[in-house]
Chains A and B, each alone.
Chain A
Amino acid sequence: MASDSNSSESQRIAQQRLRIIAGHLQKHKDDDSGTIATECKAEANKGTVPRKRQEIMKWNGWGYSDSKFLFNKKGQAEFTGKRYRLSGMVLPSLQDWFENTFGASVNHKSPATPALNASAVPPASLNEAFVEDLKATGIPFSHEAEDRVFRAHGHCLHEIFALREGKKFERVPDMVVWPNCHNDVVKIVELACKHNVCLIPYGGGTSVTSALECPPEETRCIVSLDTSQMNRILWIDEKNLVAHVEAGIIGQDLERLLNESGYCTGHEPDSMEFSSLGGWVATRASGMKKNVYGNIEDLVIHLKVVTPRGVIEKSCQGPRMSTGPDIHHFILGSEGTLGVVTEVTMKIRPIPEYQKYGSVVFPNFEAGVACLREVAKQRCAPASIRLMDNEQFQFGHALKPQVSSIFTNFVEGLKKFYITKFKGFDPHQLVVATLLFEGDRERVLQHEKQVYDIAATFGGLAAGEDNGQRGYILTFVIAYLRDLGMDYYVVAESFETSVPWDSLCFSLLLSFFRVLDLCRNVKERINRECKERGVQFQPLTSCRVTQTYDAGACVYFYFAFNYRGLADPVHTYERVEHAAREEILANGGSLSHHHGVGKLRKEWMKESISSLGVGMLQSVKDYVDPDNIFGNRNLL
């Protein structure tokens, strides 16, 4: 600890602190409740993410190196590794679906460059004075090409595509630093200011908004500040149900560690395997179970942020304050333009006693949306409720693993027969809502009945727990599937928005929703743009309603196409996505619900929040970071 001073005063304080910690530990032994505290650097790093991320993660794709989809010699799809429920399984229907949907063929491969070509990486231009001072602090850093490239991108299609193709990089960070705690960050930011070095905070690296891209016009030395080693839970306060956590922790570690003490945050964005707490704060993330736990802005109680002007934090942890505009809201969604989030105090909940998945099949998307709206209106949404359109429903089916027993196959067959034949559902129209209930057992069952009753009035038919659970598994593996697609000339991306309901229902057959209009118009716009831009194959456009609110919904789109015959597929893709976003905005959708703006959607900021609004944000930036040390140029 900071005890290089000889004064007896500071020794006294240090001793007192140790006593308190010892007390805590003692108490922890006797009694599970109370406060569990950990001091900076007091413990070995137990996080999933090593400094050299490329040791366990793909350098040019999603997720773990050991987990990937591939078509085996028999042409059957397989998911490798041991980490997921789907791992090691054969997916017999995926090939047919893939070939039919995209007009692709397993014989037409577009393999990625096997390894990073270090000569394609621009040499590091280091600020020697900064490096000297940094060495003195003992904070680890690197300027190896692999480390720098890994932090030069997020997971936008164009970024991954460029990596796979071995394209030359225009600009990558010149070095990477790994602070270990808040104080390390303070030192780094001070040095950066002193030597006029550009800092780009890097959390989980799962950005899909070009937020991590280095601005090519940046001439200063760019330092990527990797927060992955700041991954401890510093204390848990069971009395107030809050935990104080270092912001570099990634979602899966946070949940796992809290679970060990019987708690959870309930914040589960689809990227939670890899995305970090600080990243959630910086992008205004949303978790799938927000209906019970809230979005990130509802979960945060206290923030500690290191900026070029110093450290921002509030002086108390009251649950709500009327102290002018909430300064947290300058930080939430600031996308790394103001500083680094180092520590967060956030709400925690006891792990729910009972969890149950569920699913409902509707005859068509319209009926499904009408049902979700009604559920939201009655404020009885389960922890998660999502509505997949028919394309996604079929996609989900294509991911069914080989069934081991004849019996389950038989039951599935019966179910299918009942839904499509007996109930008269058209398999090319029907859609499925997936549900997740949480709470104590009795309440869950009651809640479940309430939701199924509402669904029934919209023609919905309960379709079992398995279908529900499969829907959520899909979320975690879908990013891996994009890599498979890219091996066979298929590019894919997702984007999201939020939109008011604007409902108008007459009967089951006839309902008008702005949500529906937006989905239809965006899909149609994509199809039309693809045709006009020379895409030879029908694109896949699919959407799902992933969140419901009183006043609207969050809609998530998937979009993929076979790019054989296109000279510059990424450019084509970008033009189409651009058009799709314009369509979203014209139809009353927002610029983003939870992905953020980054550099990808900057051009619409003024239109979205007015030029006065942009001015307000700019003046905060100018005050907090007058020298643009946090120079990733996101947002504004």
Chain B
Amino acid sequence: MEQPSPSGGSEELSESEESVYSGLEDSGSDSESSGNEEEQEEEEEEEEDEEEAPGSPSTLQTQAQGKRKALEDDSPLEGKQDLVVHDEYKEDSSDEEDIRNTVGNIPMEWYQDFPHIGYDLDGKKIYKPLRSKDELDLFLEKMENPEYWRTVQDPQTGADVRLSEEQLALVQRLQRGHFGDVAFDPYEPSVDFFTHEVRIHPVTNRPADKRSFIPSLVEKEKVSKLVHAIKMGWIQPRKPREGAPTFYDLWAHEDPNAVLGRHRMHVPAPKAPLPGHAESYNPPPEFLLSPEEELAWQQQDPSERRLPFLPRRFPSLRAVPAYPRFIHERFERCLDLYLCPRQRKMRVNVDPEDLIPKLPRPRDLQPFPTTQALIYRGHSSLVRTISVSPSGQWLVSGSDDGTVRFWEVSSGRCLRTLPVGSVVKSVAWNPNPSICLVAVAVDEQVLLVNAGLGDRLLVSGTDQLLEAWEAPQEERPQPVRWEPAGAEERARGVRLRVQHGKSVMQVTWHGKGDYWASVVRSPGGRQVLIHQSSRRWSQAPFRRSPGLVQCVRFHPLRPHFLVASQRSVRIYNLLRQELTKKLQSNCQWISSMAVHPGGDNVICGSYDSKLAWFDLDLSTRPYRLLRHHGRAVRSVAFHRRYPLFASGSDDGSVIVCHGMVYNDLLQNALLVPLKVLKGHAPTLDLGVLDVAFHPQQPWIFSAGADGTVRLYT
């Protein structure tokens, strides 16, 4: 009984130990098994008597390729081992294994001393085939068995295997040095897998050689030789060719960045609009026109049509006829293109926001009057003038209905009505809080009225003040006549009447409450009179007035007197009796004037709807000319405490502005329009006739042509 040589067998087993799975017939192990077989075949030539194996397990055709590879480098033993390892991992597919022996990948020699060679799937031992033959039996079998030469032993099962015809043929082919696969033609023309051309995408991942990026010393040597030769003049550069044509470069000297530079003014042609759904040959039904719409379309002027064509539906694109207006529209497009103005408008890029001066938001300048709070109703005709008592508790108003009314500010209640019989032109409450006296300009006289409101002590004190007058010894000529009121008038509060002889336009008090001034309408003559109520003394400070005097005011702090004529404001110093300043208003006709309580600023309203703010320290020209009103400004006023001023206009509105005056001479006044207060209904083309601020609160009163006085808070 002849075993394969122990050394060879053990070697083979050790070589292929990783790859030999029990019962492994095909796939991963087939190459090595074929190797085994082959080796066994070689052995088998010497020892020829072997038991016939129960049929070849493998189907060699299917493993032609693996075998081929195995054969290609089977000669060196190490190579073969490598190959086996490669094969193992390349083609390992365990689900194709035909596992009979489950011992796993272990050296089979461990089972040499056992009667079995492993375990089958059921865990039962696989016994080695009984080999009871001795050498003689083997020899006899070798001699007698004609199949002995083709019988090999399967190392996994220990069984003898008889090689089939195909396996035999394969073994013979390999022995002859042929390819295992019969169909393989080693001499078929080769197709280059790679090309000799350099490709941008590398096919190999091989890193570049060092030499490929190190400058070649040989080339450097060559180049330096050439350079040296050129330097020494041994080599002459090539001579320029004669006869090359030269052209004049038209735009050579043109600055490409110039405004008129080349292509700077390029205006791309306007794009033709893209066709929409209506242009489709099969438009959605909502784009198709109904018969009425179609009729309307046809009756429309072609220039007014929304679509220049009628959307139509065709069953297929083939049925679409030629577009009749094609030539026409192309022509128009060409006209459009060539008549397109290719001129660029140079526009100064200014943000309109930047032109607006930066002003604080009105919200931050609270408090100021914002809403109408009370309406003082009672007058039956337009209210021409109002004045607030210095305590802020009372309001006096004079109206064209011939009455003067006294109101309680907080409730809107009319407390007294004083009929005076004629149009009241002006009323002025004495600004001195310890005197309760109101000057009322009616017709040709000024009435000094004790309102009888407020503290009784003040009321009686005022009466005593007026009665304390004693007639002087010698009668001095006066421009006016002072008359005490009659008993009936006295009961109503009138204390004195000052007969002017001409109609009185305005009265105003000095801040101390003793002097007052009146303006009479006598063109060219003495229009301004200053009176002293305690001494019942009047004088005309100006012999002749320049122009028509519109308004006069006492300066609140200094002994100055401001006279507004039609176009200008004159400031006189009453002590020195001289003209200190003349302000040019830039207005057509001044209507009213107010002096800032600080004394350095004056505002003038004018009939040409302007309001001029003068800063007396700055200039005789207006510091600012505000044109907020739409119509003539009738009245202006300053608040005594808050930085507010207001103007009332014929458009029925009162505009309240913030007028902050700084003590710093370098800082100009800050004027911010705050609020337009509406409420008065314009009557007889007149709106607001007078405005007056409350002395303590940020409230404003306005007298309107609609016969009401309104309070805004």
> Do A and B come from the same complex?
no
Q: Which A residues are within 8 Å of any B CB, using their own CB?
A: none
